[in-house]
Amino acid sequence: MLDPAAPAFLAEPAVPRQRVGLTHFALAVGGFAIGTTEFATMSLVPDFARDLGIDVPMAGHVISAYALGVVVGAPVIAVLAARLSRRTLLILLMTLYALANGLTALSPTYGWMMAFRFVSGLPHGAYFGIATLVAASLVPPGKRTQAMARVLLGLTVATIAGVPLANWLGQTVGWRWSFAIVAVLAVLTATLVAVFAPRDRPDSARSPLGELDALKRPQVWLTLGIGAIGFGGLFAVYTYLASTLTEVTGVSPHLIPVALMVFGVGMTAGNLIVPRFADRALMPTAAGLLLWSLAALALYPFAAGNFWTMLVAVGAIGVGGSLGSILQSRLMDVSGDAQALAAALNHAAFNIANALGPWLGGIAIAAGLGWTSTGWVGCGLALGGLAFLAVSVALERRTA
């Protein structure tokens, strides 16, 4: 049963279907840019660690700095920009993203890279939050999860095309070019949004204090907990995948992009298929997906000895990436009128997972448990996500 205080969703607006598709495409290009830098950074950890004169676990803190930027930026921007038009806000966010990634490409030291990655993370959550709300507003309510998944599809396609390309560039001409390309993609996104996104007027009824209303709702916090904990296993494995492939599986570094591409195929397949079930049965689909992730992460340590079994495990773990659009839809149900903040916080939660997973995985590796121990770390985090989901469902049944 949905939160009785949740607002009625807008009916399908009078926007031509072709314009809807072009708007979704423009928003997805932004997802492609963000996905490329977010996941490529993980795959390039050995490269910039070597260039900046630090070890791999320390280089992993760069990923945490980006994630911290998302966690800070998502709620702050969503609240302060409550009265801006969503189209204008999206353009501004992508402009900042372009600038910050361009500066990352020029980082002279580890400290500067940490700072620039933090700034790069600031627009991430707010962009995805607002973009998914815009995408959902252009379709009937019964297709909103699929519409939001189209925006996130840009992120998953990035794991197939953008991340392997960035990884290849990192190995051939230097890791800095990977961030430079993302800056160009961000400029392209801002341009496409300016051209195709429907113009909307600032809503005078929205206010910073009104957005903060989302923080009073237990179901909002429980949903964020599902993502912040349950999604961490994917990042724990992915961050150290390149090192695991070379150190445990024993493959050439030139085969790393293949594994990254398989991960992206799994993630894209999940975002194409899973939201169709979520629009019919949201929370059961979320529970099933977390159980799927638990099984795939448990398989990972046993699969690491062979490249082909490793590809199967990595692809299966990638499917779990479709949890994002499911939880985004859940937050629309339980956040009342504070849609923008709740949507942005969803991506802050996932980047808490992005910080938590690599941190715990790095601790396990540094403790001598081996590169494949990240799979067991992921299992624990998936179980934590299931625990939050169980509490959310139990509370919903009791209050109903």
> In the prediction, which pLDDT does 13 show?
47
Please tell me the predicted confidence (pLDDT) of residue 169. 80
Q: Report the alpha-carbon distance of residue 278 to residue 86 in Å, rounded.
A: 26
Smallest CA-to-CA distance from 332 within 2, 99, 93, 109 is with: 2
pLDDT of residue 267: 87
DSSP character string of 41-108: HHHTHHHHHHHHT--HHHHHHHHHHHHHHHHHHHHHHHHHTTTS-HHHHHHHHHHHHHHHHHHHHT--
Name the residue with tokens 């490269």.
47
pLDDT (0 to 100) of residue 11: 39
In the prediction, which pLDDT does 101 show? 94
10-residue averages of pLDDT along the chain (400 residues): 40 60 90 85 78 75 83 82 84 95 89 91 88 83 81 82 79 84 94 87 64 77 92 89 89 84 88 84 90 94 92 93 86 76 80 85 89 93 94 86
Angle at 53 between CA 52 and CA 55, to 5 degrees: 110
Phi-psi region of 130 (alpha: psi -120 to 50; beta: other; left: phi over 0): alpha
Q: What's the rounded Cα separation, in Å, for the pair 136 and 188? A: 22
The four Cα atoms 335, 337, 340, 341 give a dihedral, to 10 degrees, of: -50
Q: Where are the alpha helices (DSSP H) in 245-338?
A: 256-278, 282-303, 307-319, 323-334
Distance of CA 195 to the CA centre of its chain: 25
Contact predicate 378/209, CB 8 Å = no
pLDDT at 272: 85
pLDDT of amino acid 354:
78
> What tokens does 149 get?
């998944």
Superfamily of domain 17-399 in CATH is MFS general substrate transporter like domains (1.20.1250.20)
Distances (CA, A) of 317 to 67, 238, 293, 310: 20, 9, 6, 11
